[in-house]
Amino acid sequence: MRHEISPLDGRYAEMLAPLGECFSEIALARERCRVELRYLTAVDRLRIFDPLSADEQSRIEELFRAFGQADYHRIKAIEADVVHDVKACELFLRERLNLSQPERIHFALTSADVNNLAYARIFKRYRDEHQRPQLKRLIAKLADLAEAWSAIPFPARTHGQHASPTTAGKEMAVFLSRLLRQAKQLAEQTFAGKLNGATGTYAAFAIAASEHDWIAFSQRFVEDLDLAWSPCTTQVEPGDGLAEYLALTSRINTIVQDLDLDLWQYISHGEIIQKTVSSEVGSSTMPHKVNPIRFENSEGNITIANALLPALAQKLAQSRMQRDLSGSTVIRNVGVALAHSYLALQQTMKGLDRIDIDRDAARAAIDAHPEVLAEAIQTMLRREGVEDPYALLKSLTRGRAMTLDAVQAWVDGLELPEPLVARIKALEPANYVGLAEALCKQAVSEARAWLSTA
């Protein structure tokens, strides 16, 4: 029986299982070995050592393709003796490959060369295979809701007080547009790597094989891994690009949490309702409850993720002089922060699948506050040249419960052209939504165009 410490590996293990391919110990060991194997074949082309035989090349290719549980367990057994994770990988490769010249394995490398490239490839894989597809699904879901709700009048509140109405679709389009901007940046985010030795000087490379252009070799090797090359570093890759990525992820989380909070409020006010499932319960004692638990779950996981992400970004962009080990343990927790982020977005999408607009409640909330037409009326009066209409409407409406009849009676008391009076009397709060529908449709169109090519 396992006793999981983290809910990521316990309560939410099934939901997060795909992330194990990126953030598990076996994933890290596999990626370290793959970097070593790619380096081994790249150095072979330099002919510093005798050429690899066909059998040796075949063993290298097979291990690269089929690294498995038994290989991982062997590495951990070696690590238990040598107490060094990357050295354990090197010794495993010596044993597993049985090369005629085993010293070519890990030639001139420091463990940081292997680690930084392995982690960069892991984070890039997570971004490409999990994070971006998930964010695209969320954007598609918001586009569907925004489109379906584009013309549905919806109450608006500024400072928690009733304000000029909107449409439900336009409010979804706000979050759609915000997330689309971040998704475009996420697609362009680069992950960097370095390969230059113990203090970033290529000293071991140059002293052992000075006839080669090791700077050019390093650039080719890193870029062949589909990473951006960091040319001038200490023993460690600076981590600035990783810090940018973590900050970007935190911004995405913040937008999603903002969505969670708004939807929670709309549900609380009754303007958005949740679809029920007969087998579910919302309270152990109150049978009527249908709680917005998915949005609350998302909010909580984002709180955890966004506490970790800035701390990770700051720490991983720092190193004492040429190297210290404090970042080594910290970087292992990047997967924890990203997993909480991933879990949060999953919960938000589950919540979005279960909501709808209560059109009657939304309309009633709008109609109950005709004073929101004060903005429309005073602006129309401004155009007609009426002196200080803002003050006139303020004295009528500020802090008061109004009726539409009272507003219209007040208009009758003004000396206004009859066409203008008729236009004002035709106003209804639910129709005072400006260009909300057009804005919504524009946002949806932009999102769908991006989704079709992203």
Hey, which residues are catalytic here? 159, 283
CA distances from 161 to 25, 262, 369 (A): 51, 14, 10
CA gap 171, 148 in Å, rounded: 12
* SS3 state of residue 273: strand
First vs last Cα of the chain: how many Å apart? Answer: 43
124/119 Cα distance (integer angstroms): 8
Q: Which residues contact 296 (CB under 8 A, 6 or more apart)?
A: 260, 264
Element (H or E) spanning 121, and its range? helix 111-126
Q: Which of 161, 351, 392, 135 lies closest to 260, judged by CA? A: 351
**Cβ partners under 8 Å of residue 55, min gap 6:** none
Asked if 36 contacts 106 with a C-beta cutoff of 8 angstroms, the reply is yes
Query: What's the CA gap between 266 and 255, in Å, rounded?
Result: 17
In DSSP notation, 13-45 reads HHHHGGGHHHHSHHHHHHHHHHHHHHHHHHHHT
In Å, how far from its chain's centre is CA 335?
13
255 - beta bridge partners?
none
Q: Which residue has the tokens 């129309």?
A: 380
Task: Spell out the residues 6+ positions from residue 379 whose beta carbon is closer than 8 angstroms to its own.
Answer: none
State the Cα torsion 93-95-100-103 to the nearest 10°. Answer: 50
Q: Are 122 and 31 in contact (CB under 8 A)?
A: yes
Residues whose CB is less than 8 angstroms from the CB of residue 78 and which lie 6 or more positions away in sequence, other chains included: 88, 91, 92
